[in-house]
Structure 1
Amino acid sequence: MTRPRRNRRAGVEDRWTKTVYDDEKRPTKVPSANHGKGKRWRARYVDDEGREKVKGFDRKVDAQKWLDDITAAQVTGTYVDPKLGAVTFASFYREWSTRQVWVPGTERAMNLASNGVTFGDVALSDLRPSHVEKWVKAMQDKPLAPGTIKTRFNNVHAVLRAAIRDKVLARDPAESITLPRRRRADAAMTIPTARQVGALIREAGVEFDAFVGLCAFAGLRLGEAAALQVGDVDFMRREIRVQRQVQRANGHAVEIRAPKYGSERTIPVPAGLLELVSLHIAHWRPGDDPARWLFPGEGQHPWHQNSVGYRWRRTREAAGVDELRLHDLRHFYASGLIAAGCDVVTVQRALGHSSASVTLNTYSHLWPDADDKTRRAADALFRASAGSAADGLRTEGRN
């Protein structure tokens, strides 16, 4: 049976007195049975679910202020049930996380961030920006890199926004929190030279050179290259389809899943890369099954982070480029597209970024700015003018 909803009402009552009426219906205040017992003033209201809430006060002004604050919160949509507001951040996250449709990698990242906060036992109603600032400072003091701090902050911020949607948190305590500044992308990014990439491919040998080539000349991520099947390479159209990626779950199990959001794509590739891939298939994986892994590992699985990492470290050492990461080959690919004049949308699609803003945030320093364009235009004018001036000087017989 559904409980009938109460009408919304609010008021402050004096528990120590009651009103009586004489024979002529004239009201008179007299002491009640509660006179002198407990708190004199009682404020009450009905919440959004029709439940009556009551709280006692010693002074009428305090009762009225509390009730006014509740009424204002109900009107503005920031009202939080006091019982729900007593829920801690940690307990809310435990319950909320069970309803999320996360892939294992996202679940690990969310658990790492949310279980590492310094305010896990703080009630959501007591959570203040100072709690979040203290946590951010603790991460910086560890020290964690600014990029890591930003990622964990964003994950915890998602939990806080969920608490606001569920009306267990009134305001966002993470709003306007200052995070440690990240270094400029051009200072942190390492872009291999063409000579270094050539040395890596030579030292990789017939087993691994195609993998290095896919990262350097198609911009594939490690998991994307490892999850390629022979049928994903279209030799006639000179294209490679990225349709899946390899991930390790809990550091052990190999999982095949869809690429990162927005990363499914078809990439036009150079003939030289197709030749590398063709030689790899012919030498190591002959056969007609298009669903076989291009880089098969143990059992039914392809290569994964560990098997690729071992081969990459060996190749990198042999090539004498110990400072390079495999992901730097993706930067090499992006920088080549930009240097060739590709626009941001073209680069975004080739790299499988979720948006053009991600591409710009990562590689904006590689695109020529207004000064570069002005300089090139002026150089062209100078060369044209200098050539005409030289012709004139020769005509006049001057040196």
Structure 2
Amino acid sequence: MAAPRRNRRAGVEDLWWKTVRVDGKEQKVESKLHGSGKRWRARYVDDESRERTKRFDRKVDAQKWLDDIVASQVTGNYIDPVRGQITFGSFYAEWAPRQVWVHHTRRENDRLDRTVPFRDVAMADLRASHFEAWVKKMQDQPLAPSTIKSRMMTVRSILKAAIRDKALASDPSQGVKLPRTRRAEAAMVIPTSEQVGKLILCAENRFTLFIALCAFAGLRSGEASALQVADFDFLRRDIHVERQAQRIRSGVVEIRPPKYGSERVIAAPKELIDMAAEHIRLHVPGDDPQRWMFEGLNGNPMENNMVGGRWRKAKAAAGITDVKLHSLRHYFASGLIAAGCDVVTVQRALGHSSASVTLDTYSHLWPKAEDRTRKAASSLLDEALGSTAYPLRTEGLS
């Protein structure tokens, strides 16, 4: 049976003197603690029904400390005095094992915890200056603004957990400025159709389909690696994206759901489906529908390092240097947008978690109001005048 919760209460008591009743009258007498240690003890019961105490030399100091505690309890800014002394690193060590993370995320977060300069600072002592200095240090290394933003988001999730656990009253990193990220159109490299065709022609035979799937179905590298024969519906011309492959270490690959749970069915062109069928015929022996389309080591699908090596060979053979494998996904998205596909269609094809993610990434590729105005006016002009070239009339003009 659970112990009953204690009522929240608070008070200041004198440890040197106690009140006793003598002959029916109250009078103060010296206590056993008289003259020993600090005289005044402030005490209160916290939200978990635990009594907290602290001793002071002066009553006024004890009362002020207690008033601050009570005010923080009322406003929701209370910090457990014991939990508040736990360091950032120690809190992370308690909190991290309870999180539902995939291997890659856990590895990156553990690495971040080991490197932050405020790892040994008590939670209650964290200040905005700690995070400002950290951001400046990362910028000076230099790290990309997107990387700095991602690391700060991870740290803030830890701070939010500390607030929930009463180890922190508020987030001290709020208001810390981060380096400005580049606009998507400035940072994004979209290969030309000529470059994509050249990469496919110059790639190893076993890798040709891999490039095509990224360029003409928008697959992420890990999603393409984890494709099985059964994921291709040759009758309906669909590709089912149900998993991704991520390298843990050499020869060890983790199979898990696609990024952000983006399982989806991609409507593929006939030419791509035909390429997949030919790839199976030439390079995927056997009759097990669950066999990998791109097999690597130890019966696993190709891991990141193997994919990267084949991609670099294809680029070298094609004489192309500034295109990343992920750029093929941008190529696919730009093609859908140029063909008039709406944002929801593009979102579903790419497996984005929301339409806002799609817009944040590719909004600059959609036609603007001015483009639509020009196109509409051009259509009206063609409709009115046809293909006849009409010379400007100049007679009567001065």
TM-score where L is the length of structure 2: 0.91
C-alpha contact 1:11 1:45 (8 A) present in aligned 2: yes
Unaligned runs of 5+ in 1: none
SS at match of 1:376: helix
In the alignment, what sits opposite 1:10?
10
Post-superposition offset of 1:375: 2.8
Post-superposition offset of 1:132: 1.8
Q: Does 1:281 align with 2:280?
A: yes
Q: 1:7 to 1:293 in 2, by over 3 A?
A: closer
Post-superposition offset of 1:282: 1.8
In the alignment, what sits opposite 1:204?
203
C-alpha contact 1:262 1:353 (8 A) present in aligned 2: no
In the alignment, what sits opposite 2:37?
38
In the alignment, what sits opposite 2:75?
76
Q: Does 1:187 align with 2:186?
A: yes
SS at match of 2:371: helix
Q: Number of aligned pairs?
A: 395
1:199-227 Cα distance to aligned partner (Å, 9 max, x none): 11111243221111101000111111111
Q: Does 1:256 align with 2:273?
A: no
Q: 1:252 to 1:69 in 2, by over 3 A?
A: farther
Q: 1:137 to 1:252 in 2, by over 3 A?
A: farther
SS at match of 1:115: helix
Q: Distance in 2 between matches of 1:298 and 1:91?
A: 39
Q: Distance in 2 between matches of 1:295 and 1:24?
A: 94
Q: Distance in 2 between matches of 1:353 and 1:171?
A: 32
In the alignment, what sits opposite 1:315?
314
Question: Greater shift after overlay, 247-256 or 230-239?
Answer: 247-256
Question: Greater shift after overlay, 375-384 or 220-229?
Answer: 375-384
Q: 1:274 to 1:389 in 2, by over 3 A?
A: closer
After superposition, where does 1:81-100 map in structure 2 within 5 Å?
81-100=80-99
Identity across matched positions, percent: 62
C-alpha contact 1:248 1:304 (8 A) present in aligned 2: yes
SS at match of 2:260: coil
Question: Greater shift after overlay, 57-66 or 30-39?
Answer: 30-39
Post-superposition offset of 1:278: 1.8
After superposition, where does 1:17-56 map in structure 2 within 5 Å?
17-19=17-19, 25=25, 34=33, 36-56=35-55
Q: Distance in 2 between matches of 1:165 and 1:251?
A: 39
C-alpha contact 2:251 2:298 (8 A) present in aligned 1: no
After superposition, where does 1:266-305 map in structure 2 within 5 Å?
266-305=265-304
TM-score where L is the length of structure 1: 0.91
Q: 1:16 to 1:277 in 2, by over 3 A?
A: same
Q: Considering only aligned residues, what root-mean-square deviation do their CA atoms show, in Å?
A: 2.6
After superposition, where does 1:354-365 map in structure 2 within 5 Å?
354-365=353-364
Q: Distance in 2 between matches of 1:293 and 1:81?
A: 53
Unaligned runs of 5+ in 2: none
Post-superposition offset of 1:35: 5.0
C-alpha contact 1:208 1:311 (8 A) present in aligned 2: yes
Post-superposition offset of 1:70: 0.8
In the alignment, what sits opposite 1:108?
107
Task: Tell me which amino acid in the other structure corresponds to 2:110.
Answer: N
1:83-107 Cα distance to aligned partner (Å, 9 max, x none): 1111111011112112222211111
C-alpha contact 1:113 1:153 (8 A) present in aligned 2: no
Post-superposition offset of 1:261: 2.0
Q: Distance in 1 between matches of 2:109 and 2:186?
A: 29
Q: 1:281 to 1:22 in 2, by over 3 A?
A: closer
Post-superposition offset of 1:125: 1.3
Q: Does 1:135 align with 2:131?
A: no
Post-superposition offset of 1:6: 3.6
In the alignment, what sits opposite 2:64?
65
Post-superposition offset of 1:50: 2.4
